[in-house]
Amino acid sequence: MKEPADQARFLKMTRRGLLKAGLVCAISGLPCRAFAGWASSSGRNEKKVTLNDAPGKIWEWSTEVMFKRVSGGNVQCLTCPNMCLLPPNARSRCQSHVHKDGKLYTLVYGNPCAVHVDPIEKKPFYHFLPGSSSFSIGTTGCSFHCLNCQNWQISQVKPEDVSCYTLYPEAAVEKAIEAKCRTIAFTYNEPTTALEYALDTFRLSRKRNVGGVWVSNGFINREPLLELCKNLSAARIDVKGFSDEMYQILNAGRLSPVLDTLKILKAEGVWLEMIVLIVPTYTDRMEMVKQMCGWFLKNLGPDHPVHFLRFHPQYKLTHLPPTSISFLEDARKTALSEGLHHVYVGNVPNADSNHTYCPGCKKKIINRVGFSVTENRVKNGKCGYCGRRIAGVWA
Ligand code: SF4
């Protein structure tokens, strides 16, 4: 049962937070609330998660977590492989879930901090409804702690730390339709931490012929993933390296659950694209690229696009240079020579490797400028030149 929001929470925002709240609410027309009870004056949140820091009361943007078990006086979240075991009043590793009075709650239900209409190419999806718009929703929280996180201002904080909106699933679907979006994407932060919100939104959106899109690190347990797949159209999964060791160093995560996710998504018929961010001195290893692409080919087949993305210095890795473009192009060549059909280089404006080429006749069939499709010669799912079937969801 939902209880009223904790009215005693004190409104105290950073200047940046106020600007963000004002600007984005003005754009979206969504009701905005602003809480910053634990934000530091710089807007950064680098405090470690303490145990007993659940809010005093469960607020209106909460609902019970679906996948959990009670164990003695503790509750355990079964949503992702972190399997957080929470004593009373504790908060989860992803900072979105809390244990109150024997129940496990999410604090981010209908409670996004980022809402935008994006081109689907921005996710990036290059073989899924090209040129369409996606109603994009992000909450706070993440199951990983990546040194290179590009959205750390929302992924590594609690929902109370930033300005958020009230946008329940019914309203999200209406807004998406109003904005002429063909899909709703859970994106920007790790959506597994807002699973219940996404499940309800996708369930409703499918009934209105609006697809569900998942932009994720792939770190989710099997049962929640199978539930998600019931109403999911496409997933873009971030493969951050190809060893547990690298995942531990760079992301505080693990590889094998991510690989399991890729196999399940494939088996469940969800359209799948992967991104691989190449981080200098961490993952700029051609042997790793070769191994990873061999795994993709063997387990997923040749047709799921892989996007090698350029790293730009940020968060805790500001001392590193951007990825060399020549490494990214060589990674693409390696992936193609391993047998993958569609390999892209991203975060490099105007690269030829940002377009789609027919794996049969090799002609350019989709031309992109930034996130815009300027020419599309895929007709009825086939190359407009040679008639070969091009993998993807085109209509
Ligand atoms: S979703 Fe959050 S609370 Fe649940 S196991 Fe993962 S990190 Fe822990």
CATH code assigned at 171? 3.20.20.70
- How many residues in total does the chain contain? 395
Same structural domain, 337 and 201? yes
Residues 118, 87 share a domain: no
Closest atom of ligand 1 to CA, residue 92: 3
User: What distance in angstroms lies between residue 337's CA and the mean position of ligand 1's atoms?
Assistant: 38
Torsion angle of C-alpha atoms 64, 69, 75, 78, degrees rounded to 10: -80
Atom number in ligand 1 closest to CA 78? 5
Cα–Cα distances in angstroms (integers) from residue 90 to residues 7, 45, 102, in the given order? 21, 18, 11
Asked if residue 124 has a cis previous peptide bond (ω within 30° of 0), the answer is: yes
DSSP state for residue 76 in the 8-state scheme: E
Pairing assessment for the beta strands 114-119 and 133-138 based on DSSP bridges: antiparallel
Task: Mark whether 33 and 169 lie in a shared domain.
Answer: no
- How many Cα atoms occupy the beta-carbon half-sphere of 246 within 13 Å? 19
- Same domain flag for 213 and 123: yes
Residues 258, 296 contacting (CB under 8 angstroms): no
CB atoms within 10 A of CB 219: 26
Number of domains in the chain: 2
Distance CA 132, CA 137 (A): 16
Cα 395 from Cα 392, distance rounded (Å): 9
What confidence score (pLDDT) does residue 24 get?
Answer: 41
pTM of the full structure: 0.88
Q: Residue 50's pLDDT is what?
A: 53
Q: Which atom of ligand 1 is nearest to the CA of 76?
A: 5
**If you take atom 8 of ligand 1, which residue's CA is the nearest one?**
84
Rounded to the nearest whole angstrom, what is the distance from the C-alpha of residue 128 to the centroid of ligand 1? 29
* Co-location of 335 and 223 in the same domain: yes
Residues 101 and 184 in one domain: no
- Of 73, 106, 139, the one marking the end of a domain is 106
Q: 128 burial class (0-12, 13-18, 19+ CB within 10 angstroms)?
A: buried
Would you state the torsion angle of the CA atoms of residues 158, 163, 165, 169, taken in this order, to the nearest 10 degrees? -20
pLDDT, position 57: 80
**Inside any domain, residue 394:** no
Residues 24 and 94 reside in one and the same domain: yes
**Which of 106, 138, 172 is where one domain is finished?**
106
Give the amino acid at 317: L
Q: Are residues 241 and 166 in the same domain?
A: yes
287 and 360, same structural domain? yes
Are the C-beta atoms of 261 and 237 separated by less than 8 Å?
yes
The helix/strand/coil state of 9 is coil
| Cβ pair 255, 242 in contact under 8 A | yes
Q: What is the CA radius of gyration of the chain?
A: 21
CA distance 51 to 85: 11
Task: Tell me, yes or no, whether 299 and 265 share the same domain.
Answer: yes
Tens digit of each residue's pLDDT, the chain (395 residues): 333 233 222 222 333 333 343 334 333 455 544 433 332 223 333 344 456 788 888 888 999 999 999 989 999 999 999 999 999 999 999 999 999 999 999 999 999 999 999 999 999 999 999 999 999 999 999 999 999 999 999 999 999 999 999 999 999 999 999 999 999 999 999 999 999 999 999 999 999 999 999 999 999 999 999 999 999 999 999 999 999 999 999 999 999 999 999 999 999 999 999 999 999 999 999 999 999 999 999 999 999 999 999 999 999 999 999 999 999 999 999 999 999 999 999 999 989 999 999 999 999 999 999 999 999 999 999 999 999 999 999 98
In a domain, 221, yes or no: yes
Is there a single domain that holds both residue 81 and residue 135? no
* d(C-alpha 262, C-alpha 44), whole Å: 33
In a domain, 163, yes or no: yes
**Range of 289's domain?**
114-383
> How far does residue 93's CA lie from ligand 1's centre (Å)?
6
Helix (H, G, I), strand (E, B) or coil at 234: strand
The residue to mutate among 63, 77, 99, having the most atoms of ligand 1 within 8 angstroms of its beta carbon, is 77
Task: Return all residues near 277 (Cβ < 8 A) that are at least 6 apart.
Answer: 148, 238, 240, 283, 309, 311
Kindly give the number of the ligand 1 atom that is closest to the alpha carbon of 95.
2
Residue that finishes a domain, picked among 51, 83, 106: 106
- The binding-site residues of ligand 1, defined as CB within 6 angstroms of any ligand atom, are 77, 79-80, 82-84, 92-94, 97, 143, 192-193
Atom index in ligand 1 nearest the CA of residue 86 equals: 3
Q: Are residues 228 and 312 in the same domain?
A: yes
